[in-house]
Chain A
Amino acid sequence: MSSLNINNLSASIEGKAILDNLNLDLPAGEVHAVMGPNGSGKSTLSKVLAGHPDYEVTGGSARLEGIELLGLSPDEIARMGLFLAFQYPIEVPGISIANFIRAALQARLPEGESVKAVDYYKQLYEKMDELGMDRTFTSRSLNEGFSGGEKKRCEILQMSMLEPRYCILDETDSGLDIDALREVSLGVNRMKGPERGMLVITHYQRLLEYIVPDKVHVMWEGKVVLSGDKDLALELEQRGYDWIRNEVAA
């Protein structure tokens, strides 16, 4: 069965160990949430999977459809079908959203083929309408001067245009008001499907009211210490992360 398999993954940054023998399986067709307190390694997990050059993998494996991701360059990983929606999307001055997404699609085509402009804009406008984004958005520089909500919508727009096999959403709820949260979540939900796996990283249970996970994993000091169904998120919300601390200590 197709899936993203993470086995005994350990990673560090500047010599400091962050991930410690982490295990997680995300089958295609499912939505998993990763929760955990600040500093538990949630964002590190997303960056290591995406191949960020600052992190050093010290052990383990991460396979996408059976193919090892670790050691590949970030663009190779992206083209294999792994998408990371950033917690803090980066501003790139002078590049319009339309040109950027087009260049990203172009990068996936074989040499000599090119994205057809008419089809491209048709699809882009459809997705923007779905996300409640104004058409004028396409000509704005990528993330430059965007509000928090606009940045996150722009991430979801890119995700829906690139149609990745596996999506990692890193704290997509941070910086969103309740209306933006609803729209962004709708956008994510529209992308759910039997062929696609989604990993939703969040600090709060709030997001999971909109994006309902099939499974919830709780991270603590660089590993998954507890997994369960969606009720685990609720329990966590009620009892707080101290509960996990006690569980782990026990």
Chain B
Amino acid sequence: MSTSNQIAVDREKGNFHFETDYAYDAGVGLSEDVVKYVSGVKDEEPWLLDFRLKALAAFEGKPLPTHWASKDLENINFDQIRYYLSKGQKPSRTWEEVPDDVKNTFERLGIPEQERKFLAGVEAQFDSEAAYSRMKDDLEEKGVLFMGSTEGLKEYPEVFKKWFGKVIPTSDNKFSALNSAVFSGGSFIYVPPGVKLEQPLQAYFRINAENFGQFERTLIIADEGAEITYMEGCTAPKFETSTLHSAVVELVALKGAKIQYITVQNWSNNVFNLVTKRALAEEEAEVRWIDCNIGSRLTMKYPGVILKGRKARGEVLSIALANDGQHQDTGAKMVHAASETTSNVIAKSISIGKGRSSYRGLVEMPGRPSHCKNNTECDALLINAESETDTYPAITVRGRDNSVQHEASVSKVSAEQIFYMQQRGMSEPEAMSLCVNGFVNDLIREFPMEYSVELKRLIDLEMEGSVG
């Protein structure tokens, strides 16, 4: 019966750090020289350096979005961050070849075991670059490409350049511009027409260095009728100073393709996690984001789907858990750009102690499509009297015969519920945990088994010591 811990990432598990020597270090602060350094280390073509420098200008020209977002963004000191760090490693295809300190890190996080158990491929990124990348041989034979962004742009420019930066333009927002200037690492995946991956591909992102910014860039292309599930996990040690993680993730689902993208974000509580994730869904394609935010100091992330082709379907299922000192500012964007497109958003948030969770939703129907459907449910659970939640839906419906539904609820764990459960023998934290699990249960049932088990355990760990 036991299926537990297949993905072993609990909140404390990532809290360790090995001293590491870096062969490549872009130094502290952001400038044209830093961008040129990153591009130079990667030996990039001129168009890419040009892309980066334009992005840097876009980043510098945009104000922080504090007119609508958290003022905490002002506490990011862009001049004290290190934008590129690597040991100069090339991604190894066997664990033996991975440098010892990096290997020890991933072994401690249980990555090799997971790969053996249930994954079709793994990529493990250590600070700026991938240290390990391996996919099952049969997938390679079918023409599946799975590699880091550096390798992808270099080896398969004809595949990736077409979509690179197209779903999320450089200047979409300040942080997508920052990522575009200094990006390094992340996964590039191409699944050929009709190829259906039965097991997920996984990427694991690890920040090891203090005052560091991780800017991975992921692009997944599922060609016509292809199917893929991709999972990402992330951890960092608890440093005194804050760390920045700012990724850009673009998904392209061509006609009839299916992409499922699963995130369990478990950054330590000093990480600013400012991520732009968006998918393009062509005719009859399906994209599903499963997004679980448990760690970080401030997360701002609103996975979106542009439903570009007829009958395309988009879905965001998300769970956010905000404890003391955390603000989970998450949501979803659904752009119904074609008729008969459907989208579904279910967002559940739990605020504990002085934690705050916000939901921002956007539903748009440009071009006056017809027969589109959107369903949005956002439910918040408050554990303590100081816990906070807020919701900002923005819905614009144009065209005809479209239906949009938005439901929101806020509930509180009551003292009487806890007393009742304690009277059956459970301790107060056990009772709280059970209430929280009850709140997210119907949503977690939609997740792949490995993730649901792990997520429940993470929630239990987070509830410990959060009561009273």
> In the complex, A162 Cα to B435 Cα: how many Å?
20
Q: Which residue of A lies closest to B427 (CB)?
A: A75
> In the complex, A99 Cα to B421 Cα: how many Å?
12
Distance in Å: Cβ of B426 to nearest Cβ of chain A: 5
Distance in Å: Cβ of A226 to nearest Cβ of chain B: 29
Number of interface residues of B (CB under 8 A): 26
Is there a chain A Cβ closer than 8 Å to B116's Cβ? no
Is there a chain B Cβ closer than 8 Å to A94's Cβ? yes
| In the complex, chain A residues 63-121 whose Cβ is within 8 Å of any chain B Cβ | 73-75, 77-79, 83-84, 86, 89-95, 99-101, 103-104, 107-108, 117
User: Given contacts A93-B439, A100-B434, is CB(A73)–CB(B417) below 8 Å?
Assistant: no
* Docked-complex contact B425 and A104, CB < 8 angstroms: yes
User: In the complex, which residues of chain A have a beta carbon less than 8 angstroms from the beta carbon of B67?
Assistant: none
> In the complex, A90 Cα to B417 Cα: how many Å?
6
Is there a chain A Cβ closer than 8 Å to B1's Cβ? yes
User: In the complex, which residues of chain B have a beta carbon less than 8 angstroms from the beta carbon of A103?
Assistant: 424, 426, 430, 434
User: Given contacts A53-B419, A117-B1, is CB(A95)–CB(B425) below 8 Å?
Assistant: no
> In the complex, A100 Cα to B420 Cα: how many Å?
11
> In the complex, A158 Cα to B434 Cα: how many Å?
17
User: Given contacts A103-B430, A107-B430, A117-B1, is CB(A50)–CB(B423) below 8 Å?
Assistant: yes
> In the complex, A79 Cα to B421 Cα: how many Å?
12
Is there a chain B Cβ closer than 8 Å to A43's Cβ? no
Tell which of B1, B411, B422 touches A74, judged by Cβ atoms closer than 8 Å.
B422
User: Given contacts A86-B420, A89-B420, is CB(A75)–CB(B438) below 8 Å?
Assistant: no
> In the complex, A99 Cα to B435 Cα: how many Å?
12
* Docked-complex contact A90 and B420, CB < 8 angstroms: yes
Distance in Å: Cβ of A26 to nearest Cβ of chain B: 18
Is there a chain B Cβ closer than 8 Å to A205's Cβ? no
> In the complex, A91 Cα to B439 Cα: how many Å?
13
User: In the complex, which residues of chain A have a beta carbon less than 8 angstroms from the beta carbon of B33?
Assistant: none
* Docked-complex contact A107 and B425, CB < 8 angstroms: yes
Query: For chain A, which range describes its interface: under 10, 10 to 19, 20 to 34, or 35 or more residues?
Result: 20 to 34
Q: Which residue of A lies closest to B443 (CB)?
A: A94
> In the complex, A117 Cα to B438 Cα: how many Å?
20
User: In the complex, which residues of chain B have a beta carbon less than 8 angstroms from the beta carbon of A141?
Assistant: 438
Q: Which residue of A lies closest to B424 (CB)?
A: A104
> In the complex, A61 Cα to B421 Cα: how many Å?
24
User: Given contacts A86-B420, A89-B420, is CB(A95)–CB(B428) below 8 Å?
Assistant: no
Counting chain A CB atoms within 10 Å of each CB, which of B411, B425, B437, B440 scores highest? B425
User: In the complex, which residues of chain B have a beta carbon less than 8 angstroms from the beta carbon of A50?
Assistant: 419, 423
User: Given contacts A78-B425, A104-B425, A107-B427, is CB(A92)–CB(B420) below 8 Å?
Assistant: yes
Tell which of A53, A74, A92, A107 touches B417, judged by Cβ atoms closer than 8 Å.
A92
User: In the complex, which residues of chain B have a beta carbon less than 8 angstroms from the beta carbon of A95?
Assistant: 434-435, 437-438, 441
Q: Which residue of A lies closest to B421 (CB)?
A: A92
User: Given contacts A90-B417, A94-B438, A95-B435, is CB(A100)–CB(B422) below 8 Å?
Assistant: no
Q: Mark B399-418, 1 if CB is under 8 A from A, else 0.
A: 00000000000010011110
User: Given contacts A52-B419, A86-B420, A103-B434, is CB(A94)–CB(B427) below 8 Å?
Assistant: no
* Docked-complex contact B1 and A75, CB < 8 angstroms: no
* Docked-complex contact B419 and A74, CB < 8 angstroms: yes
* Docked-complex contact B428 and A94, CB < 8 angstroms: no
Is there a chain A Cβ closer than 8 Å to B74's Cβ? no
User: In the complex, which residues of chain B have a beta carbon less than 8 angstroms from the beta carbon of A107?
Assistant: 424-427, 430
User: In the complex, which residues of chain A have a beta carbon less than 8 angstroms from the beta carbon of B422?
Assistant: 51, 73-75, 78
* Docked-complex contact A84 and B423, CB < 8 angstroms: yes
Q: Which residue of B lies closest to A79 (CB)?
A: B425
User: In the complex, which residues of chain B have a beta carbon less than 8 angstroms from the beta carbon of A99?
Assistant: 434
User: In the complex, which residues of chain A have a beta carbon less than 8 angstroms from the beta carbon of B415?
Assistant: 53-54
User: In the complex, which residues of chain B have a beta carbon less than 8 angstroms from the beta carbon of A74?
Assistant: 419, 422-423
User: In the complex, which residues of chain A have a beta carbon less than 8 angstroms from the beta carbon of B421?
Assistant: 92, 100
| In the complex, chain B residues 299-356 whose Cβ is within 8 Å of any chain A Cβ | none
Tell which of A51, A53, A100 touches B424, judged by Cβ atoms closer than 8 Å.
A100
> In the complex, A91 Cα to B423 Cα: how many Å?
14
> In the complex, A73 Cα to B428 Cα: how many Å?
9
Distance in Å: Cβ of B354 to nearest Cβ of chain A: 22
User: In the complex, which residues of chain B have a beta carbon less than 8 angstroms from the beta carbon of A79?
Assistant: 425
Counting chain A CB atoms within 10 Å of each CB, which of B411, B430, B438 scores highest? B438
> In the complex, A89 Cα to B439 Cα: how many Å?
19
User: In the complex, which residues of chain A have a beta carbon less than 8 angstroms from the beta carbon of B425?
Assistant: 75, 78-79, 104, 107-108, 162
Beyond known contacts A78-B425, A99-B434: 8 more, CB 8 A cutoff? A50-B423, A73-B422, A78-B424, A90-B414, A100-B424, A103-B426, A141-B438, A158-B424
What 9 A-B pairs come out closest when comparing CB atoms?
A: A94-B438, A74-B422, A104-B424, A90-B420, A95-B438, A107-B425, A75-B422, A78-B425, A94-B441
Using CB atoms and an 8 Å cutoff, list the residues of chain A in contact with chain B.
Answer: 50-54, 73-75, 77-79, 83-84, 86, 89-95, 99-101, 103-104, 107-108, 117, 141, 158, 162
